[in-house]
Structure 1
């Protein structure tokens, strides 16, 4: 494909909070129980903070938070180390894998959106902060439900995960798509959006279905309109700060955004803001 192409080639989705698991709930209880097992209390809000990172990086980031680090020092008589992160990660993986089937339902509209994108000739890529052992549980469940993306790149597959662009680079190679401005990254986390931006793609943030909101579908629907709008505004601001070109509630609202991005490409616009001559 010519490097000045003005036609979209692919959409790359995150998994939890984007395609499955409204609220991105599967990892949260596992992180809380993990640290409890080692005598340290963490909150759901703290657990959500580094969401989207590779899970080892996530554990390390939690262990470095001052409140958590102080508890670790008091409980274990020494600072939290990378060796501790290694040990907790080994405990976490089967713990998380055990709960993901309970949170593997599709986000409303996800399958219809993917089908519509495929009908337009777009390839469907996927990257995730989950590692391979966890995704070996998730992908068969998703496949039985009708979702089989054209590739999968997991945390731990490459030398660095999010927010580096390496998983996106692998996705470009897997799908055979380029240049990056013909690709759209869709994610519910800041580091997932940064992954796309660093790779040179368009970035679409999801304010309600994922980690930025952090509520199940039932919890979200139970809020009144004012409460919903307040949470939407807070999540939108956080995702925009991470570099989102667009922020929508969920993938159910993605198609008009894809139309707009395609129109912008034809006008010569690019994700980084520069203008080029249309081809």
Structure 2
């Protein structure tokens, strides 16, 4: 039987489209004179933010812009300055926008009803998560454990350390009894590295990169095309299950429970 579900936050349970970090990254780099595209940002979304900034600074286009502006490559001091600016921008934005995605409370209540533990991992810092967690709690979403890389000596995703920490806290030895749910390929890689079942969410995901309004304004055919693009991305990394929205997670749990029952 499934004993625990581990959710990501932005793009999975809150912040449809995972917009907050994108806005903060763009502002921090723009203040440094560097223009970023959404694609530049989203390709490594889900990592710890310090690591993510390091990845962005390694991009060829970013290096070229930096050299043109400063006549040198970015160094660790530059990275620290951008990280500080990013944190400031994100903390400010999180206070304004951390709404739960549709279906989160219904799914959370189902999990509680059936005694399934709920935990979360994230690329956010503990300080960032305090804002998000408090706002989610006001809306009724209160996971049993909220873990950041700071709880595991800075070993952020895609390392399995946060999931392994959760397994110890929940006293669960068998990873097949755990589901990791996320909206980025880094989420899936984290789950795979911990040998748990992985579920990718399509709508409102960072991979899709659309706001709720933008998605709703698409016609039916366009929505199907967008969903399929995201599904192919998840399938390309062998995600165990891909669902349109969190509403579909219950079916996955029931299917896995039934499969486990048959084995016995």
TM-score clears 0.5: yes
1:4-153 → structure 2 map (5 Å cutoff): 7-153=1-147
State yes or no: 1:183 paired with 2:178: yes
Q: 1:275 corresponds to which residue? A: none
Matched residue count: 263
1:54–1:156: 8 Å Cα contact kept in structure 2?
no
Q: 1:139 to 1:120 in 2, by over 3 A?
A: same
Which consecutive residues of structure 1, in runs of 5 or more, have no partner in the other structure?
1-6, 269-277
2:27–2:86: 8 Å Cα contact kept in structure 1?
no
- What TM-score do the two structures reach when normalised by structure 1? 0.91
Q: 1:262 corresponds to which residue? A: 257
2:9–2:122: 8 Å Cα contact kept in structure 1?
yes
* Secondary structure of the structure 2 residue equivalent to 1:267: helix
* Secondary structure of the structure 2 residue equivalent to 1:125: strand
* Secondary structure of the structure 2 residue equivalent to 1:103: coil
- What TM-score do the two structures reach when normalised by structure 2? 0.96
1:55–1:155: 8 Å Cα contact kept in structure 2?
no
Superposed CA deviations along residues 85-123 of structure 1, whole A, max 9, x for unmatched, are 222112211210110133211110111001001111100
Which consecutive residues of structure 2, in runs of 5 or more, have no partner in the other structure?
none
Worse overlay, 162-171 or 152-161: 152-161
CA RMSD of aligned residues (A): 1.2
1:204-215 → structure 2 map (5 Å cutoff): 204-215=199-210
* Secondary structure of the structure 2 residue equivalent to 1:106: coil
Q: 1:225 corresponds to which residue? A: 220
Offset of 1:242 from its aligned partner? 2.6
Aligned match of 2:197 in 199, 202, 206? 202
Over 6 Å off, 4+ runs: none
